[in-house]
Amino acid sequence: MHFPRLKIAVSDCLRGTECRYNGGHAQDDFVNHHLAKYADFYPFCPEAAVIGTPRETIRLVEEQQGVRVKGHKSATDYTEGLKAYGDKMVPKLLGMHLDAAVVKSKSPSCGIERIKVYQPNGEWHGSKDPMTSGLFTGQLREQAPYLAIEDEGRLQDAWLRENFMLHAFTSARWRELLEATPSLADFQIFHRDHKYLFMSKSEVIYREMGPLVANTRADNLEDQLQAYQEKMFELLAHRSTKGQVRNVLDHVYGYFKEQISADEKDHYQQTVQEFIQGVIPLIAVIKVLEQFLNHYGSDYLSTQVFFHPYPADLALRSEVSAFR
Ligand code: SF4
């Protein structure tokens, strides 16, 4: 099974670089011990580049002219320097054709969400006051709304991690397809092989993608690839639910229904029920279907990415909590 090597932008402190305000790092095991096996990293650290290390802590402050980034102690306004860094660095990163980004949580530069915006007098009034993303990650999301972005804290959640990996590896497969200047046949194969993966994310959007492929000819291939890409990224932003995954499992089961024994039917039904109840992980149901596939065969199913969307040793599908 071929898996493309991912291209991932990452907050440098998560890699263990000592670039935090106090000269420390925020080394993250998932990034460095799991993701690193399958990804090339493109690091960034806005604050070290603009303010230096060590440095005073900074925070977001709501002022008349908008949200500013200010030194906690000195009240120095670092906004313009940090913005200029993002204006330069974000296009540079995107020029590498990234598949995803992992950012540091709770940082006024790199945080993805829930970063406090303080009052001009330095107070924060709890949930009444606004929260936003960090300045750099805000710039990145604005220019690349299609990109899979998570922070290391959210990636502790098996469901978010599963969806992040599906998004990142599918983006990478699409990137590889485009890099190879695909023919119409290559495009059709990509769509065919992703059928069940896409259905597990959004059957409605998947159904809208079909006509884009069906109406493609050699003379409109480029336009159709572009339109398909937009739909695909819209779809990838959806997170799979247990119900959607069950729908896909039942579709796959449907291929074997006429051939398998009553005992095998019972075994499948019981296994899928236990998956829905959160007793066993998805991988257990997939193994049952793979047994049917090995025994009875199906050329169509054997190439479905749904069965192997990312390297198995990431083991996300072994976690009961990877689906909600
Ligand atoms: S959170 Fe961002 S700005 Fe802060 S040290 Fe890490 S990479 Fe640098």
pLDDT at 314: 80
Report the b/e string of 222-247 with b at 16+ CB within 10 A: eebbebbbebbbbbbbbbbebebbbe
Q: Would the CB of 60 count as within 6 Å of ligand 1?
A: no
- Assess contact for 108 and 117: CB atoms under 8 A: no
CB neighbours (10 Å) of residue 73? 9
Please tell me the distance between residue 106's alpha carbon and the centre of ligand 1 in angstroms: 10
Among 109, 137, 140, the mutation site with the greatest number of ligand 1 atoms within 8 A of its Cβ is 109
Q: How far apart are CA 14 and CA 34, in angstroms?
A: 13
Please tell me the distance between residue 285's alpha carbon and the centre of ligand 1 in angstroms: 41
Q: Report the candidate in 60, 55, 100 with the shortest Cα–Cα distance to residue 77.
A: 60
* Strand duo 148-151 + 100-103: pairing: parallel
Q: Would the CB of 19 count as within 6 Å of ligand 1?
A: yes
- Assess contact for 70 and 47: CB atoms under 8 A: no
Q: Model-level pTM?
A: 0.94
pLDDT at 322: 65
pLDDT at 217: 95
Residue type, 102: V
User: What DSSP assignment string belongs to 5-71?
Assistant: PEEEEEEGGGGT-S-STTS-----HIIIIIGGGTEEEEEE-HHHHHT-SS---EEEEEETTEEEEEE
pLDDT at 44: 98
What distances in angstroms separate CA 246 from CA 191, 209, 234, 242, 282, one per listed residue? Answer: 21, 21, 21, 6, 9
Q: Would the CB of 109 count as within 6 Å of ligand 1?
A: yes
Cβ-based neighbours of 291, under 8 Å, separated by 6 or more: none
pLDDT at 241: 87
What does residue 116 show for φ and ψ, rounded to 5 degrees? -65, 140
Residue type, 119: Q
- Evaluate the CA torsion angle 104, 106, 111, 114 in order and state its sign: positive
Q: Would the CB of 48 count as within 6 Å of ligand 1?
A: yes
pLDDT at 219: 95
Q: Would the CB of 115 count as within 6 Å of ligand 1?
A: no
pLDDT at 95: 97
| Ligand 1 atom 8, closest CA | 45
What distances in angstroms separate CA 64 from CA 68, 119, 120, one per listed residue? Answer: 10, 11, 9
pLDDT at 319: 73
Q: Would the CB of 112 count as within 6 Å of ligand 1?
A: no
Cα-to-chain-centroid distance, residue 242:
18
Residue 145 preceded by cis peptide, ω within 30: no
- Assess contact for 97 and 174: CB atoms under 8 A: no
Which tokens belong to 7?
A: 């291209």
Please tell me the distance between residue 64's alpha carbon and the centre of ligand 1 in angstroms: 27
pLDDT tens across the length of the chain (324 residues):
789 999 999 999 999 999 999 999 999 999 999 999 999 999 999 999 999 999 999 999 999 889 999 999 999 999 999 999 999 999 999 999 999 999 999 999 999 999 999 988 878 877 777 788 999 999 999 999 999 999 999 999 888 898 999 999 999 999 999 999 999 999 999 999 999 999 999 999 999 999 999 999 999 999 999 999 999 999 999 988 889 999 999 999 999 999 999 999 999 999 999 999 999 989 899 999 999 999 998 999 999 999 999 998 886 777 777 667
Q: Number of C-alpha atoms within 13 angstroms, CB side, residue 323?
A: 23
Helix (H) or strand (E) holding 90: helix 79-94
Q: For the segment 1-11, what is each residue's pLDDT rounded down to a tens digit?
A: 789 999 999 99
